[in-house]
Structure 1
Amino acid sequence: MAVLHPLTRTALPVDTEALARYLIGKIMVRELPEGRASGRIVETEAYIIGDAAGHAYRGMTPRNRSLFLERGHAYVYVAYGTSQMLNVSSETPGIGAGVLIRALEPSDGISIMQRNRGVTRLRDLARGPGRLTAALRIDRALDGLDLCQEGPLWLGRDGHEPGEIAQSNRIGVTRDAHRPLRFYVKDSPFVSGTRKK
């Protein structure tokens, strides 16, 4: 097993679209009482500055303040009343924008993720933003966490190169839906939604 190192903030691009691409192939690590659960990021979406589909569009609120932190912090929110969503803040402090983590390829702690999700099929454990947060037991308690240092939730790298990264329009947005701001590992079975060549 490759050694994991936390991503350094200086390595993160100060640009939301560039960060969404950069995070493909990196590792999302969740430290839980029963052990480590982690997966390789295979799909992201960028919600850039001034994006009408982004939570920062109307300015900072108590709910979205983590999007305005320095790049590399967690922004966790509830969508559709049930699903937690994990984003990574992506710009300089005070500028609201983020990258939605849409899908992971599970690596460590697969049995933990299976228990958390109540499913056994590897492909379905973290294929989709709500599934991956359930698999890693991510909730609003982790909102605002610094992901660039080891802790309950952090981003790691192991030198892996993700291969060909494809790009498409985002999934499930109605505003600014024409923007090709979704990035994913081409031909990965762990990607959510319809894959466009």
Structure 2
Amino acid sequence: MAQSRVSSDRVVPHPVSQVLGRPLKRGFFARSVHEVAPDLIGATLLMNGVGGIIVEVEAYHHTDPAAHSFRGATPRNKVMFGPPGFTYVYRSYGIHWCVNFVCEKEGSASAVLIRALQPTHGLAAMRRRRGLEDERSLCSGPGKLCEALGITNAHSELPLDAPPIALHARTCKVEIAAGVRIGITKAVDLPWRYGLKGSKFLSKRF
């Protein structure tokens, strides 16, 4: 099974630089989910110009009982079995939308769950959608960030390198923390949760 990989780069001051890096293309995701996940920390995700810096993610491999793809393709998760570089959006507990980025070669059915963002673009829209002012609470969880960015199932199966989505690579070195995933009950806890060390925008401390 693939192993997690954590950057040993030095910590940068917070907040992370808001300067947008180069656009990320679908080929970025055609790698092991355990390489893509930590490489997304510090990248910027925008939906229709609203979003921020990715500070927390979780990796899900098709061999993992906690992955939605573990028991095979369904109408809901079929995008996970397609080519990399597309969104997979699902509703969690019938309440919150969650967005994932499909990784690895076609048929692998592995993905990265985006857990938290540091808001940098369109804060007024986020506050209106979330009904609160606290910047730290706008995107500090997968359901919260989808609500803040206006992401629903209508945004599933979209390419990650075309409007309304924009993804930009990080522009500075970061130190990445790793730990067990949150709320996993169908598998042994694995250190496949990655986050920006020291960020105040995480859904939960490491």
Fold shared by both chains (TM-score > 0.5): yes
Where 2:121 maps in the other structure, the secondary structure is: coil
Structure 1 residue aligned with 2:103: 90
Structure 2 residue aligned with 1:20: 37
1:52 aligns to 2:69 (yes or no):
no
Kindly report structure 1 stretches of 4+ aligned residues shifted beyond 6 Å: none
Distance 1:46 1:188 in 2: 19
1:1-197 aligned at under 5 Å gives the runs 2-12=19-29, 14-31=31-48, 36-149=49-162, 151-157=163-169, 159-161=171-173, 163-193=174-204, 195-196=205-206
Deviation of the 1:71 alpha carbon: 1.7
Distance 1:18 1:52 in 2: 20
Structure 2 unaligned blocks of 5 or more: 1-17
Where 2:34 maps in the other structure, the secondary structure is: helix
Distance 1:138 1:103 in 2: 14
How many aligned positions are there?
Answer: 189
Distance 2:153 2:184 in 1: 22
More deviation in 62-71 or 118-127? Answer: 62-71
Q: Give the letter for the 1:156 counterpart.
A: H
Structure 1 unaligned blocks of 5 or more: none
Quickly say closer, same or farther: Cα 1:160–1:69, change in 2 above 3 A: farther
Distance 1:169 1:95 in 2: 22
Deviation of the 1:185 alpha carbon: 0.7
Q: Give the letter for the 1:159 counterpart.
A: T
| TM-score, length of structure 2 as denominator length | 0.87
Distance 1:2 1:185 in 2: 17
Quickly say closer, same or farther: Cα 1:155–1:3, change in 2 above 3 A: closer
Q: Give the letter for the 2:172 counterpart.
A: H
Deviations 1:88-112 (A, max 9, x none): 0011112211100000000011111
Q: Give the letter for the 1:101 counterpart.
A: I
Greater RCO, 1 or 2 (C-alpha within 8 Å, sep 6+): 2
Where 1:6 maps in the other structure, the secondary structure is: coil
Does the CA-based 8 Å contact 2:97-2:147 persist in structure 1? yes
Does the CA-based 8 Å contact 1:16-1:47 persist in structure 2? yes
Distance 1:101 1:88 in 2: 8
Distance 1:43 1:181 in 2: 11
**Identity across matched positions, percent:** 39
C-alpha RMSD of the superposition = 1.4
Does the CA-based 8 Å contact 1:146-1:154 persist in structure 2? no
| TM-score, length of structure 1 as denominator length | 0.91
More deviation in 93-102 or 1-10? Answer: 1-10
